[in-house]
Amino acid sequence: MWRASKEKALGQKEVRPVEDHIYFINHILPTQFQVELVLMDNQVIGIIAFNKSEISQLYIHVDYQGIGIGETLLNKAKENSNGKLRLYTFEVNHVAQRFYEKHGFKVIARGHENEENLPDIHYEWVSQ
């Protein structure tokens, strides 16, 4: 689900093998972030990884986007934050940009320091 959602958003195939992602999700991500999954019929349809100041991952299955799952997960991260959250999204992912901006995130920087070597946008949300 995570890979398919990311590939659709970027318009390109994932650069790492699936085994690397399985290891990352099971062994690296949980050491720094709270990981929440959304399941439907025993299938993962959403994932968020966050801590008090950052959202590392937020992906929704391509067949379940636009029905509020992402908003629910984002609100959970906001509620558990220190009043400020930062995240990155790829510049080519216009859907994510609209989503984050709709939910109060502001652009604070632009660049491309990622393994995909694609331009990205650094966003920040500050509680009102």
Instruction: State the Cα–Cα distance between residues 85 and 34, nearest whole angstrom.
Output: 14
For 39-64, write each residue's pLDDT tens digit.
999 999 999 999 999 999 999 998 99
Instruction: State the Cα–Cα distance between residues 107 and 13, nearest whole angstrom.
Output: 26
Q: Tell me, what's the pLDDT at 111? A: 87
Residues of the chain with pLDDT under 70: none
pTM of the model: 0.89
Angle at 27 between CA 21 and CA 32, to 5 degrees: 105
